Structure 1
Amino acid sequence: MRKKIIEFRNVSFRYGDEQPWVLRNVSFDVYEKEWLAIIGHNGSGKSTIAKLMNGLLFPQEGEIIIDGQQVNDESIWSIRRDVGMVFQNPDNQFVGTTVQDDVAFGMENRGIPREEMIKRINETLSAVGMQEYHMTEPHRLSGGQKQRVAIASVLAISPKVLILDEATAMLDPKGRTEIMSTVSEVQDKNDLSLITITHDLHEVVQAERVIVMNNGEIWDEAVPREIFAKKDELRKIGLDVPFVTILADELNAAGINIEREPLNQEELLEGLWTLHSRT
């Protein structure tokens, strides 16, 4: 059984004493090497969860445990070594005048020796396909390239958990696919726990597990197939389902019955081929 890397225990949060609760009594675990997707409509509490994991916010009620440490003022810097975040707009994360300076910044703050820094800069930029841009000024990069550098900057500090908070939202479909392919490869290579907070259903179906947030509470928690089987319920709380799921429903309504509800194009084609083979 995999070790718990993050534990939320009855966590509640609000942005001010007179404000409504953004999160109410939220409890869940994240495991080592797991890919967890967190989804929900705007205002459901997704991004607040990400900031709580990284110690950018602290809960008013409950507790958060990261790799055995409770998140508080005393543990915050240790926590941030373990949990790296990439935000929606990479421009907000750039601090260096060149790509390599930016990747080095977090390591410099942690006192990592120069020789080790050079090694990690080369390794992380190579991992995200940006080695040849190491002397480029960040503002000259495309959106996808900037996001790759932001990911490299986080990976350079060797976190145990990588959080992508709507990190592909500003990219076109091709850019999203490339970034998530890179992230998936990096996760496998570095044995990271990956948490994606996203509206992109293509990302969600790739995750091992999905948490659905609604009005500050956990609405459901299951593997993607079980989540998207609840199509009507998801629509009622303002969420979409994958296009192939909608298409499969239309085919079933037309008498073309696919036994296993598909999550992606490959599974839909496989279901149609199996049906064809029987006729």
Structure 2
Amino acid sequence: MRNSIVEFRNVSFRYGAEEPWVLKDCSFSIHENEAVAIIGHNGSGKSTIAKLMNGLLFPQEGEIIINGQRVNEETVWDVRKDVGMVFQNPDNQFVGTTVQDDVAFGMENRGVPRDEMVKRIEDTLKAVGMQQYLMTEPHKLSGGQKQRVAIASVLAIFPSVLILDEATAMLDPKGRKEIMNTVTAVQEQRHLSLITITHDLQEVVQAERVIVMNEGKIWDEATPRGIFAKKEELQSIGLDVPFVAILSEELRKKGVPIANEALNQDELLEELWTSHLTM
């Protein structure tokens, strides 16, 4: 049984006293070394959740616990040692004149000794495949390379929780796949809790658990397979379903005996092969 590292307890939030509630009485937990995807249409509250986890915002109601510590104005800097966040546009995170300076920035603020800092810069850039760009100016990098450096900068502070807030949205499909493969590998090596806020269905499929937001509330949470089995319900709240899941449903309607919900092409081919053998 894994321990909870993030807990939302009846959290509600709005951006002003006269504004509508963006989150309404949300409660959930995320465990150590767990990969969770948070999905929902625009305005459902998912990015607000990310900012609340990192202490960029504070709830008007309820409480948030990160690694056993309640998030408030007194604890926010300690909380940010545990929670690293990568945003959609990496240019918003660059502060250094070179890749090396940028990765060092967060560690300098935390007083990491120089020898340790040099080692972490080398290790984190190697982990994201950017070690050869140590002295490169960030503006000379491609979008995918910038996002890799942004991830390295966060990993260098050794967080327990890594949040990707639409971090692959500006990349092409190949770039998205490369970034997520990198992040998944690092998560497994470091035993991080990974929280992915995304519209990309392939990223959702890679998660262990999915939290679906709708109109500021938790609509459902389950495994990707369990969530995507509810095709019509998801579409009714404005969310997409993987093409493979739609194709599987159409094949069932045509009489093809597909027993399990396929999440990718390989699983669908396996189902088709199994059904062929049993026919």
- Asked if 1:188 corresponds to 2:188, the answer is yes
Deviation at 1:275, TM superposition (A): 1.5
Aligned to 1:157: 157
2:261 & 2:75 partners in 1: Cα distance?
45
The CA distance in 1 between the partners of 2:276 and 2:99, in whole Å, is 52
1:197 offset after TM fit, Å? 0.2
State the SS of the aligned residue for 2:33: coil
The residue identity in structure 2 corresponding to 1:242 is: P
Q: Residue 171 of structure 1 aligns to a residue in which SS?
A: coil
Deviation at 1:171, TM superposition (A): 0.5
Structure 2 residue aligned with 1:176 = 176
* In 2: Cα distance, 1:275 partner to 1:23 partner: 44
How far apart, CA to CA, are the structure 2 residues paired with 1:262 and 1:120?
Answer: 40
Alpha-carbon distance in structure 1 between the residues aligned to 2:99 and 2:86? 16
Question: How far, CA to CA, are the matches of 1:51 and 1:228 in structure 2?
Answer: 27
CA offsets 1:23-74 (integer angstroms, 9 cap, x no match): 0000000100000100000000000000000000000000000011000011
Distance 1:144 1:276 in 2: 42
Identity of aligned residues (%): 76
3-state SS of the aligned residue for 1:181?
A: helix
Instruction: Give the match's secondary structure for 2:256.
Output: coil
- Secondary structure of 1:111's match? coil
Which ranges in structure 1 are unaligned for 5 or more consecutive residues?
A: none
Q: Distance in 2 between matches of 1:138 and 1:189?
A: 26
Which residue matches 1:167?
A: 167
* Cα distance in 2, alignment partners of residues 58 and 13 from structure 1: 8
SS in 2 for 1:2: coil
Distance in 1, Cα, partners of 2:99 & 2:270:
43
Give TM-score, length-normalised by structure 1. Answer: 0.99
Equivalent position amino acid for 2:97 in 1: T
Q: TM-score w.r.t. structure 2 length?
A: 0.99
Q: Which residue does 2:95 correspond to in 1?
A: 95
Alignment of 1:261-276 (within 5 A): 261-276=261-276
CA distance in 2, matches of 1:139, 1:132: 16
* Structure 1 residue aligned with 2:75: 75
Matches within 5 A, 1:1-279: 1-279=1-279
Counterpart CA distance in 2 for 1:14 and 1:261 is 37
- Give the secondary structure class of the aligned counterpart of 2:37: strand
Secondary structure at 1:153's aligned position in 2?
helix
Q: Tell me the distance in 1 between the aligned counterparts of 2:258 and 2:73.
A: 53
**In structure 2, what is the Cα distance between the partners aligned to 1:236 and 1:96?**
45
Q: Report the alpha carbon displacement of residue 261 of structure 1 after superposing the two structures with TM.
A: 1.4
Q: Secondary structure at 1:117's aligned position in 2? A: helix
How far apart, CA to CA, are the structure 2 residues paired with 1:139 and 1:76? Answer: 30
In the aligned structure 1, how far is the partner of 2:2 from the partner of 2:255? 43
Distance 1:245 1:228 in 2: 7
Question: What is the Cα-based RMSD across aligned positions, in Å?
Answer: 0.6
Aligned residue identity for 1:215: E
How far did 1:253 drift? 1.6
**3-state secondary structure, aligned to 1:276:** helix
Q: Distance in 2 between matches of 1:63 and 1:249?
A: 41
Q: Matched residues in 1 for 2:247 and 2:59: separation?
A: 42
1:59 partner SS: coil
- Distance in 1, matches of 2:53 and 2:127, equals 25
**Residue identity in the other structure for 2:22:** V
Question: In structure 2, what is the Cα distance between the partners aligned to 1:152 and 1:81?
Answer: 15
Task: Tell me which stretches of 4 or more aligned residues in structure 1 moved more than 6 Å.
Answer: none
Aligned length: 279
Deviation at 1:278, TM superposition (A): 2.5
